[in-house]
Amino acid sequence: MSHADPTTDHKAPAAGPTNAAWAVVAVLLAIGIVVPLLVGLYDSEKPSLFGFPFFFWFQFLLIPIVSVLTFIAFRISLAATARDRERAGLPAHADGNGDLR
The residues facing 2 across adjacent strands are: none
The pTM for the full model equals: 0.71
Q: Domain-by-domain residue ranges, the chain?
A: 19-87
Query: What does the alpha-carbon distance between residue 77 and residue 83 come to, in Å, rounded to a whole number?
Result: 10
Neighbours of 51 (CB within 10 A): 7
49 and 76 Cβ atoms separated by less than 8 Å: no
- Give 23-69 pLDDT, tens digit per residue: 999 999 999 999 999 999 888 889 988 999 999 999 999 999 999 99
Is residue 69 classed as helix, strand or coil in its secondary structure? helix
pLDDT of residue 13: 52
pLDDT of residue 42: 87
